[in-house]
Structure 1
Amino acid sequence: MGIGGIGMSAFARLLRSRGHHVSGCDAAETDLTRTLEHEGITVTVGHGAAHVADIDVLVASEAVPKDHPELVAAREAGVRVRPRMELLGELLAAGPSVGVIGTHGKTTTTSMIAVALEGAGLDPSAFVGGIVPEFGSNARVGHGPFVAEVDESDRAFAELGCETAVFTNAEDDHVGGNQATYWETVEEQHAGFARFVAHSRRVLLCADWPGLEALCSGAAQQLRYGLSEGADYRAVDLRPDPEGTTFKVLYQDAPLGQARVGLPGTHNVQNALAALAVAHLYGADFERAASALAAFGGPGRRWQRMGTFKGALIIDDYAHNATKVRAAVEAAQQTGRRVRVVFQPHRYLRTQQSWPRLADALMGADEVLVLDIAAASEDPIEGIHATLITERMTAQGHTAVHYRPERADVLRHLRGTAQPDDIIVTMGAGDVWKLARELSEGAQ
């Protein structure tokens, strides 16, 4: 169910590669469902009890209500219903595995690990929450270690484990509310991270993120990566430029070699360092892994280069909470261009919880255009509106922030004012990316 989702489609591809007959359904036809059908996976548009006829297993996420007609029909027919996290746990337990956890950076870090291992000849399998250009997919089938993005929005992740847990950070995303994909408290969520780590053979944690070591006290083995002194894997001599950052990698103070990440921002140095650390742990040749990583341009919707318009560089980024937004703005500043952001707040509850932080994170941009909140199936919350962000920024002295609910107005504005030294970043977890595509397709 929901085969058009970025995670479910990856499951479908991995299961089909193992010889299973896989089909699925989703509410609407998309580019991704059409790609799956081209690959030989039958996709039905819409949901209905008839879909469970003549199947052995129905895979569904915890977000699907237990009284959904398809789930009810499956149980009545004796069809085994498997939660998606149970399936991921089975894949992680099948052999050498790397599970990437944390609030930010999972998709990029998972992609980088898989690309580094593949470049070094270790032939990984991969399960990623985004399209990896090198693979042309969100899944890769190989005979080496299995690398997986493990999403904390499904609370069942806490009962899984793997051989190597890569722990990027821990903040307060997916917390509050009564949704199946949200935790009641941040403490409960962080305890979930700690359980996953305790179930794993070892943890590679970011030494630069406060509080992670305390959450990893149950790990059988701890290794640390980051820019901080004392990290087992450390990035030093950082040399940022408009296109990315070159740096040296040390392992327990001994040099492993030079590396480069072709994505701007210190956070991407940390992500790349995690990937090179995993490659080293699994015996990869450092130079081959580093070379593959240097050529990596990022997964879909994570600092994705969409094209240019009148010389302006157009980027799309999935950043949707304050830490990610701040990192994306800083990455844009590293390019040396005028930073222009189109921001789409995501979910009413998330906006209610964090609009002051979102406003503060956007202050570094030269211009900010704010769209309406992307509801993502949530009901509106009284008093919660995108203008909370723009009004706070204006009150703090920003002179070029505007609430722009009409997308056609945003496009007209950008097309009429784009300059060769601009970087235009569409930012958010909703469908703001469509503006970047429309702007780049109208390039002149």
Structure 2
Amino acid sequence: MTDLPPTPTPPAPDSSPHYHLMGIGGIGVSAFARLLAARGVRVSGCDEQASELTEGLVRDGIAVAHAHDAAHVAGVDVLVASEAVPKDHPELVAARAAGVEVRPRMALLGELLTASPSVGVIGTHGKTTTTSMIAVAMAGARLDPSAFVGGIVPEFGSNARLGAGPFVAEVDESDRGFAALSCETAVFTNAEDDHVGGNQATYWETVEEQHAAFARFVGQSGRVLYCADWPGLEDLCGGAAERLSYGQAEGADYRALDLRPDAEGTSFTVTRRGEVLGEARVGLPGTHNVLNALAALAVTDLYGGDFRPAADALAAFRGPGRRWQRVGELNGALVVDDYAHNPTKVAAAVQAARQTGRRVRVVFQPHRYLRTQQSWPRLADALMPADEVLILDIAAASEPPIPGIHATLVSDRMREGGHAGVRYLPDRAEVVRYLRETAGVGDLIVTMGAGDVWKLSRELAAGERA
């Protein structure tokens, strides 16, 4: 296996092309930077904010400039930017004036997907975890994959991996350009109504338009492996040259049977068209993680990998960053951080939390005004099974406020529904103080959301270590 080295990458030859990546501190763009650099391309980038990700890139020998400046494009061969970057951005204007190729982020991913045997993971939920699991299972089976992941995979110490085998990539539907791409094997986890509506550059106008894009990606790919448990998904795969399915449903090509959940995860039996491949285990709670692991084992099987070492690798897998990430303890309570931010993800995370048998205490940060406007009743309902819920203010993510849309919509609906343990608590210092005073053995504290709520989990766990 050829993991990306922790030591700085040596300078590429002067003859290699120079790629400059805007927003290089993003979880996806930083993975592009690592993959390009590992292939001998000269890479630089810029971002508004320094972060752990940008610091890691610098340690790997990739030049990172803070803030944006038209001067960054001097001597650059290719400028990579997402569709979210305004067309009149000074760096884009300067690049076009200088004759520098401006390449969309998704076009770059498309090149990587077509350069070798490839697996593209699509869907509204579970892409990061499923992509990570596929890469980990393939690595366990000695298929030596390359990987592009929207999260840090502990086994690789990175969000990217360079190998000689198939290329496994998370394909994000929030970038409309994904619909023009294809791959050898499309893994289709689910399809819902996220990233729809509003005036965001990367959002879809309607859910029908978004789902048509899923169908287009699948139809352009060599084959699709779709989740048979998700209603309506098979209908979106009608254009695929070859269709395979996975799930618990009868008739699925790859099935997870005899699920045996416990406080730490779930053991289950895997079959392929009725033939038992073996016993597997996922060390993350929740039925959704059984399905993610099943997809990973199915893909590994499709590429000729041995089941047993792949299953063993998954049994040891503890999840990518911010996906049921065990952060530490506080007064004997387990502290977990999770990226769940829309109703389906939140419901799955709460179900996973309840599987542990602990008292479930959630700190939830709604994400975006538009998303909250579209889904606050469903968010409230998804949180109802938790024993206690502390609601923070909405993470704006650069969106302007929408009149009447506030985090208390969630807490008020839960209270009206009979939940006695929900509170709107926007003062983060008070949240930390309260949990430090009340956390105890048998508790599970989950910080949940796509904003910066993760910082609270670190602060709580750090208090235990202090």
TM-score of the superposed pair, with normalisation by structure 2 = 0.95
Match of 2:86 in 1: 65
Residues 5-16 of structure 1 mapped to structure 2, 5 A cutoff:
5-16=26-37
Residues 120-269 of structure 1 mapped to structure 2, 5 A cutoff:
120-269=141-290
Q: Tell me by how many angstroms 1:95 deviates.
A: 1.1
The runs of 5 or more residues in structure 1 that have no matched partner are: none
Q: Tell me by how many angstroms 1:198 deviates.
A: 0.3
The Cα offsets for residues 226-251 of structure 1, whole Å up to 9 and x where unpaired, read as 01111000000110000000000000
Q: Decide which of 78, 90, 98 is 1:77's aligned counterpart.
A: 98
Give secondary structure in 1 for the equivalent of 2:103.
strand
Q: Residue type of the partner of 2:187?
A: V
Match of 1:90 in 2: 111
Give secondary structure in 2 for the equivalent of 1:385.
coil
Match of 2:375 in 1: 354
Distance 1:34 1:390 in 2: 38
Distance 1:243 1:74 in 2: 51
Match of 1:398 in 2: 419
Q: Tell me by how many angstroms 1:181 deviates.
A: 1.3
Q: Please state if 1:320 is matched with 2:363.
A: no
Distance 1:352 1:439 in 2: 30
Q: Residue type of the partner of 1:113?
A: I
Distance 1:46 1:315 in 2: 32
Give secondary structure in 2 for the equivalent of 1:22.
strand
Q: Please state if 1:367 is matched with 2:392.
A: no
Distance 1:178 1:192 in 2: 18
Match of 2:446 in 1: 425
Q: Tell me by how many angstroms 1:302 deviates.
A: 0.2
Q: Residue type of the partner of 1:279?
A: T
Distance 2:407 2:202 in 1: 23
Q: Residue type of the partner of 2:315?
A: A
Q: Decide which of 300, 319, 334 is 2:321's aligned counterpart.
A: 300
Give secondary structure in 2 for the equivalent of 1:439.
helix
Match of 1:440 in 2: 461
Distance 2:270 2:368 in 1: 39
Match of 1:408 in 2: 429
The runs of 5 or more residues in structure 2 that have no matched partner are: 1-21
Match of 2:68 in 1: 47
What is the total number of aligned residue pairs between the two structures?
444
Distance 1:379 1:187 in 2: 26
Distance 1:437 1:42 in 2: 28
Q: Please state if 1:345 is matched with 2:335.
A: no
Distance 1:267 1:302 in 2: 12
Q: Residue type of the partner of 1:144?
A: G
Q: Residue type of the partner of 2:223?
A: R
Match of 1:335 in 2: 356
Distance 1:42 1:67 in 2: 24
Distance 2:49 2:378 in 1: 34
Residues 14-33 of structure 1 mapped to structure 2, 5 A cutoff:
14-33=35-54
Q: Tell me by how many angstroms 1:419 deviates.
A: 1.2
Q: Residue type of the partner of 2:124?
A: T
Q: Residue type of the partner of 2:362?
A: V
Match of 1:287 in 2: 308
Give secondary structure in 2 for the equivalent of 1:369.
strand
Q: Residue type of the partner of 2:98?
A: A
Distance 2:233 2:130 in 1: 17
The Cα offsets for residues 245-276 of structure 1, whole Å up to 9 and x where unpaired, read as 00000000110000000000000000000000
Distance 1:268 1:150 in 2: 19
Q: Tell me by how many angstroms 1:434 deviates.
A: 0.2
Give secondary structure in 1 for the equivalent of 2:464.
coil
Distance 1:108 1:181 in 2: 22
Give secondary structure in 1 for the equivalent of 2:131.
helix
Q: Decide which of 98, 109, 115 is 2:136's aligned counterpart.
A: 115
Distance 2:66 2:427 in 1: 30
TM-score of the superposed pair, with normalisation by structure 1 = 1.00
Q: Residue type of the partner of 1:201?
A: G
Q: Tell me by how many angstroms 1:141 deviates.
A: 0.1
Distance 1:279 1:210 in 2: 25
Over the aligned positions, Cα root-mean-square deviation in angstroms equals: 0.4
Q: Percent identity?
A: 77
Give secondary structure in 1 for the equivalent of 2:71.
helix
The Cα offsets for residues 55-78 of structure 1, whole Å up to 9 and x where unpaired, read as 111000001000000000000000
Distance 1:155 1:429 in 2: 20
Distance 2:52 2:396 in 1: 22
